[in-house]
Amino acid sequence: MEIATLIGGIGIFLLGMTLLTDTLKKWAGTRLRHRLNQFTDGSLSGATLGAMLTTLFQSSSVTTLMTIGFVSAGLLTFTQSLPLVIGANVGSATTGWIIAILGYNLDVRQLFLPIIGIGMAFRLSRPRLRRVGLLLVSIGLIFVGIGTLQEAMRDVVTFSFGSAGEMTVLHQALLIGVGFLMTAVLQSSTIGLVLTMTALATAAISLPQAAYLVLGQSAGTSLVVALGSIGGWKSARRIVLGHAIYHVSIVLIGWLTFPVLFEVVNRVADWFNWNDLLRLALFHTTFHLLGVILFLPFYQTFARRLLKWVPSRSEKLTRLLDTNMSQLPTVALEAARRSLLEIERYLGNETEFLVREGRLREDELTLVDKTLSDVRVFLSTIRLEDEGKQNDYGQHLSLLHTIDHLERWLYVLREVEPLHALRDTDFLAARELVLHELDLVNQLNHHTPPEDSKLWKQASKQLAEYRKAHRSELLEETAANQLEMDQTIQKVQVLLWLDRIGYHIWRATRHLIKPTVPSERFDVNRED
């Protein structure tokens, strides 16, 4: 029965943690997204935010995975994300203090069972109180789970790691390995910490043994984060790698300095006459604070190293963009133009692959989508001066036109199933015209003269004439019963598809290499 109680206690604790995390993410998620950049301007503020989020969600893994999501969505840069990841570990230490102060000094189930009842009453009442109710229920379940674990551990735990004085290096490594496995299996260092503190409270393990287990549990969070970020962008892989390097490093530092660190913690605890649970909470906090002190001053250097180890294609396409340029509109606009040139060449290569091979690489198109969004955001930061900046206005307008046509080009690529569109051999001439335009795009550079835009214009107009002529022929053949209606619709779609690709290639290129001037802007709009 004790084993069943132990399993039930873990289940209740997990249920409470899941409810707490989900409730707080829904409650605070929108506000957090809007305020992220305000809190991540500096290393200390970023670390503080990471610690606050972990304290809120009671899980450093959740904070790290949320950070990965923020970076992938473009709400944070990779460099801004590192202080959050580093600070998240300090926030995880609050769990130990809560358990040490409340978890075992009184019967928490008697205290928190009524809170679950109150929470459910709120949950079933007015809509505004439902989230408050879920919050109370989740907190109550967490501490009821802790109380159940405490009761079960007294009878279940019969093992021993040996006395603290007999610990060898191999013994220490074994304890760290066990701690790592606890986090890996339970998918939460918080649950591992709760079990460790429960075992310590029931005298199943000694304080030094518990401290080594805590070291291993910290390293185990890297595996949890890695599993949670599978399939992510390069930014996710960088954060996972940084997270792993950081945790392995601080575990090694904690292991090597353990005698000194443990002695300092015990001396401080002796002043306050603390019990073993409070001493373990202090060790856990001190250990993570040591990691922050050692890593935070050098996080930018660490970030640059990770960027080099895990390069990103999206950042290569937008590497010229720097928000500090916003005070120099002419320079910033030229940086945006050159970025869009690289993005267009990249999109041109993907379009050529599609036309020749008949396969659409959605991941690559998503990458183009993301980088176009980055350029659009960058352009929104540029503030043009009123006097003497008409040329900058025209350049800005042209770049917005370019983004619009590149996005429409992307839309057209996804509009027709490539195999259906490209297996038809009736329109080889139209395909060759598109390929000719793409070949010209591949030769684009920031020195391409404006008058060369006529090359794309000529090819696009030939495509339009070809489409009009063959569309009429197709309709005539259908009327004469030489073609089925379904065949006609499919062939017309192919023609329109090729024509529209060619048109947007021309217009995007024209705006890039021949910026609009204010006097002609209304004519340009009509031409579009």
Residues 85-105 have a mean pLDDT of 77
Residues 202-212 have a mean pLDDT of 88
**According to the model, what pLDDT value does residue 519 have?**
45
Least confident of 101-105, 414-418, 497-501: 101-105
**According to the model, what pLDDT value does residue 523 have?**
43
Least confident of 81-90, 146-155, 479-488: 146-155
Percent of the chain clearing pLDDT 70 (strictly above): 76
Least confident of 150-159, 262-271, 337-346, 493-502: 150-159
CA distance 359 to 263: 64
Least confident of 65-69, 348-352, 359-363: 65-69
Residues 506-512 have a mean pLDDT of 92
Q: Is the pLDDT of residue 74 over 60?
A: no
Contact status, residue 459 vs residue 488, Cβ threshold 8 Å: no
Residues 486-493 have a mean pLDDT of 74
Residue type, 81: S
Residues 124-132 have a mean pLDDT of 77
**According to the model, what pLDDT value does residue 521 have?**
42
Least confident of 33-47, 105-119, 309-323: 33-47
Residue 84's pLDDT band (boundaries 50, 70, 90)?
confident
Q: Name which residue leads in pLDDT, 47 or 400.
A: 400
Q: Is the pLDDT of residue 405 over 90?
A: yes
Q: Please choose, from the candidates 312, 292, 305, the residue with its C-alpha nearest in 3D space to the C-alpha of residue 92.
A: 292
**According to the model, what pLDDT value does residue 94 have?**
82
Tens-digit pLDDT profile for residues 210-263:
999 999 988 888 776 776 555 555 566 788 888 889 988 999 999 999 999 999
Q: Name which residue leads in pLDDT, 184 or 264.
A: 264
Least confident of 156-165, 288-297, 429-438, 454-463: 156-165
Q: Please choose, from the candidates 329, 325, 332, 334, the residue with its C-alpha nearest in 3D space to the C-alpha of residue 384.
A: 329
Residues 154-177 have a mean pLDDT of 68
pTM of the model: 0.59
Least confident of 100-109, 425-434, 456-465, 466-475: 100-109
Contacts of 313 (CB under 8 A, 6+ apart): 234, 367
Q: Is the pLDDT of residue 350 over 70?
A: yes
CA distances from residue 82 to 78, 98, 246, 324, 363 in whole angstroms, order as listed: 7, 26, 10, 21, 26
Q: Measured in whole angstroms, how far is the alpha carbon of residue 205 from the centre of its chain?
A: 39
Contact status, residue 5 vs residue 148, Cβ threshold 8 Å: yes
Tens-digit pLDDT profile for residues 289-335:
998 999 889 888 888 888 778 776 666 777 777 666 666 787 788 88
Q: Is the pLDDT of residue 105 over 70?
A: no
Cα atoms in the 13 Å half-sphere on the side-chain side of 11 = 6
Residue 345's pLDDT band (boundaries 50, 70, 90)?
very high
Q: Name which residue leads in pLDDT, 247 or 490.
A: 247
Average pLDDT of the chain to the nearest whole number: 78
How buried is residue 283: exposed, middle or buried, by Cβ count under 10 Å (0-12/13-18/19+)? buried
Q: Is the pLDDT of residue 276 over 80?
A: yes
CA distances from residue 60 to 65, 84, 289, 342, 424 in whole angstroms, order as listed: 9, 10, 14, 38, 55
Residues 195-209 have a mean pLDDT of 84
Q: Name which residue leads in pLDDT, 528 or 401.
A: 401
Residue 138's pLDDT band (boundaries 50, 70, 90)?
confident
Contact status, residue 505 vs residue 355, Cβ threshold 8 Å: no
Structure tokens given for 355: 């036309």
Percent of the chain clearing pLDDT 90 (strictly above): 19
Q: Is the pLDDT of residue 37 over 50?
A: yes
Tens-digit pLDDT profile for residues 414-442:
886 655 556 666 678 888 889 999 999 99
Residue 9's pLDDT band (boundaries 50, 70, 90)?
confident
Residue 448's pLDDT band (boundaries 50, 70, 90)?
confident
Dihedral angle of Cα 341, 344, 348, 351, to the nearest 10 degrees:
170
